[in-house]
Amino acid sequence: MQIETIKRWHWCVIGAIVGCAVAAVSIWAGPEEKPSTETVHHPEFESHLLYGGFQGYKVLNIRNIRLHPYLEAKNPSLDNKLVQTDYITYEYDLYKPLRNGNYEERLNRVGQLIPFQKAANKGGSVLGKDVTQLTARQYLEKLGEYMKKLEATKYPKMTALKWNKRFIEEPKTAFAVYGGGGVVLIGIIWPTILNLLMGAGLGREVKEKLMDISKYKGKSEPAKAKAEVTEDDMDRLAALEAQLEASLREGAHERVPTATVATVEAPVKKLIGGSAATEHALPAPGKDKDFGADQGDYYPTEVHGKKK
């Protein structure tokens, strides 16, 4: 099949299928995890935001705080059962302290905070309660409300909590975005470019496809049964031939040759005067005949009645 013969709505269907396939793979694979990703806990994350460091490490330039919708993790309150939960990632620059008082720079670190996980011997949350029972979204909302009440003068290294949600990682949004993008790219833009190339003479000439009538088969009439000649038919035929032959023999006769009859011209009689002449004389003129016609006659006829 030539690519030029594919219709636009076919391309739209193909684009939707490809987009949904990409969305399914993206959800299954999850977000890309960088090699510098480290697991952090609630106290460590709060210390990065409020104090700019944790246990002697200096943290600067906290950025790109994101809420991801799905992750498989163990929940201690459910006997470490694997559940689907949201989680938090953010990027920061980490400086490790040295003995001479300086810091060793480590750039572009990625912290990953997963709910229900509570670090041992690292203090509690500034919220003053067990935050491991909260989802990642609930935790960020409560932590943001708490930080708004703090005085900036007491926390000079505090970083404002600004976060965004990764809607593209949710199944409904992913299928809608990737599926719609596939329709736009493959179903609309690509056929338009293909038509422009064909209009410029770069494509093959599209031949009109004739109707294939081979798939339409008429109903075949039932074959007539051939007449079979039986022995009775042969006997009747032989009897009929014998009867015809006998009738021909009875009506046959020999042809008699016809004699030629000579035509003799009779002598022409001569006219003889006298009595002979009188014999052949014309009859004496008689009375005139009377002819009449009735109303129903087309021609006059002789009147046989007596005249009065």
Tell me which of 115-119, 149-153, 275-279 is least confident.
275-279
In a domain, 149, yes or no: yes
Specify whether 96 is located in the same domain as 159.
yes
Q: How far is CA 144 from the centre of its chain?
A: 53
Q: Which of 146, 165, 184 is the last residue of a domain?
A: 165
Tokens at residue 271, please? Answer: 């006219």
Specify whether 139 is located in the same domain as 113.
yes
In a domain, 190, yes or no: yes
Specify whether 45 is located in the same domain as 156.
yes
Write the pLDDT tens digit of every residue in 168-223: 888 888 899 999 999 999 989 988 888 888 778 776 665 555 566 666 666 666 65
Specify whether 76 is located in the same domain as 118.
yes
Specify whether 123 is located in the same domain as 151.
yes
Name the domain count of the chain: 2
The pLDDT score that the predictor gives to residue 92 is 93
Specify whether 185 is located in the same domain as 109.
no
Long-range CB contacts (< 8 A, 24+ apart) of 9-14?
Answer: 9/187, 11/186, 11/187, 11/188, 11/190, 11/191, 12/183, 12/186, 12/187, 12/188, 13/187, 14/182, 14/186, 14/187
Write the pLDDT tens digit of every residue in 24-63: 888 887 777 788 888 898 989 999 999 999 888 899 999 9
Specify whether 7 is located in the same domain as 68.
no
The pLDDT score that the predictor gives to residue 261 is 46
Tell me which of 21-25, 171-175, 225-229 is least confident.
225-229
How far apart CA 204 and CA 210 sit, in angstroms, is: 18
**Buried b or exposed e, range 87-112, using 16+ CB within 10 angstroms:** bbbbbbebbeeeeeeebeeeeebbbb
pTM of the model: 0.56
The dihedral formed by the CA atoms of 113, 118, 120 and 121, expressed in degrees to the nearest 10: 80
Taking alpha carbons only, the member of 99, 102, 119 closest to residue 38 is 119
Burial class (CB in 10 A: 0-12, 13-18, 19+), 263: exposed
Q: Which of 148, 165, 182 is the last residue of a domain?
A: 165
Cβ–Cβ under 8 Å, residues 106 and 96:
yes
Percent of the chain at pLDDT above 90? 21
In a domain, 301, yes or no: no
The pLDDT score that the predictor gives to residue 285 is 56
Specify whether 88 is located in the same domain as 117.
yes
Specify whether 53 is located in the same domain as 177.
no
Q: Which of 123, 144, 165 is the last residue of a domain?
A: 165
In a domain, 106, yes or no: yes
Specify whether 153 is located in the same domain as 38.
yes
pLDDT band at 260 (very low <50, low <70, confident <90, very high): very low
Specify whether 37 is located in the same domain as 131.
yes
In a domain, 229, yes or no: no
Specify whether 17 is located in the same domain as 102.
no
Instruction: Map residue 140 onto helix, strand or coil.
Output: helix
In a domain, 206, yes or no: no
What domain range includes position 70? 32-165
Write the pLDDT tens digit of every residue in 78-137: 788 888 889 999 999 989 888 777 888 777 889 999 888 766 556 678 887 778 788 899
